[in-house]
Amino acid sequence: MATLGRFLRVPSESFFLFGPRGTGKTTWLKREIPDGLFLNLLQPDVFRSLNARPERLRELVLGNPEKKDVIVDEVQRAPELLPVVHDLMESGTNRRFVMTGSSARKLRRAGTDLLAGRALLRTMHPFMAAELPDFDLDTSLKLGMVPLVVMADNPPDVMASYASLYLEQEVQAEGLVRSIGSFARFLEAVSFSHAAVLNVSNVARDAQISRKTVEGFFEILEDLLLAFRLPVFTRRAQRATAAHPKFYLFDTGVFRSLRPAGPLDRPQEIEGAALEGLVAQHLRAWIAYSQLDLELFYWRTRSGAKVDFVVYGSDGFWAVEVKSSAIVRREDVRSLRTFIKDYPACEPLLLHRGSERLLIDGVKCAPAAEFLSALRPNQTLADL
């Protein structure tokens, strides 16, 4: 299988690389650091050896002096290795250590300090459109951008089994929940909250689970890097704003695989949430790979005005609205205009499903497919 280049760049010093399963961490590292000492803790023999006797890592490192890079894959499976790594770094062994993980939960529970800041933190995200030679918006809205799925011989089948893979390999194997059935009901219920303001009580009612249990399930999703929340933008707010964050699954294909659809569901609702989620995951990846001083928010007033995304920091200030429609009307930019009145330094942008570039009441309106295809790290949104 051919591999595709990624926008993430290898730091010159030791680093952690976190990302959900299937985002291509291992493939990327083997391509970028082909001569490193590679220790994959998903391999039973490697896991048993290092988990039973963590100090064996020191012996392996010292016994391979020609290996200047040491990669410990899925380090959360054996957090006891990190003190050994820390000691090796302090002892001046002149190695670059790379620790990958699909969950930070066990590292935190073990009281690990992530090497006391001696290693950088990096994240691997699903593909960005510009990383693909043949990006197709409609296909991505259905199947998402997870490399494991995109590069598969039969992407629909792989995506259909992705949630089951997590249920079995991550949640069940690690004993994170007492009832897999309850967690499966929660996943279906939470899919209705994708790209929406989060109401934990509603999710608990729909899943027929206690609110306290659901709050714990949300933490598991975030610890496994399967979901994230966007806070409300409140800097120097001139209007009363919403109090609750918005919720997103990390990939729009995962959302589509979990979200049930029936005769009572309007296709445009699901399509709209999928497109908004696809833009969200691209903006997160763009910020992470660019290493810019930017954060992602959303904005919503109690009177109903809303902007899907606010990108804010010392490196820029943008407001982005997403419309799953091929036709843009003047009323579609009304909330952006309201936001501009409060924050005139902001640059507004509306993304739509059409093919035309427009300027309506001072708001740039661009095709979503064109925007996503052009988005690359270290490039400001003003360039697109």
What is 255-318 written as a DSSP string?
HHHHS---TTS-HHHHHHHHHHHHHHHHHHHHHHHHT-S-EEEEEEBTTS-EEEEEEEETTEEE
Q: What is the pLDDT of residue 320?
A: 98
Q: What is the pLDDT of residue 52?
A: 95
Q: What is the pLDDT of residue 2?
A: 58
What are residue 123's DSSP bridge partners?
Answer: 18
Q: What is the secondary structure of 36-103 as a DSSP string? A: SEEEETTSHHHHHHHHH-TTHHHHHHHH-TT--EEEEETGGG-TTHHHHHHHHHHTT---EEEEEES-
Give me the tens of pLDDT residue by residue for the chain, a chain 384 residues long: 456 789 999 999 999 999 998 999 999 999 999 999 999 999 999 999 999 999 999 999 999 999 999 999 999 889 899 999 999 998 888 899 999 998 776 676 655 566 767 889 999 999 999 999 999 999 999 999 999 999 999 999 999 888 877 766 677 766 667 778 888 899 999 999 999 999 999 999 999 999 999 999 999 899 888 999 999 999 887 887 878 999 999 999 999 999 987 766 777 889 999 999 999 999 999 999 998 899 999 999 988 889 999 999 999 999 999 999 999 999 999 999 999 999 999 999 999 999 999 999 999 999 999 999 999 998 888 777
Q: What is the pLDDT of residue 265?
A: 73
CATH class of 15-123: alpha beta
Residue ranges per structural domain of the chain: 15-123, 129-383
**How far is Cα of residue 86 from the mean position of the Cα atoms in its chain?**
28
Q: What is the pLDDT of residue 1?
A: 45
Q: What is the DSSP letter of 15?
A: E
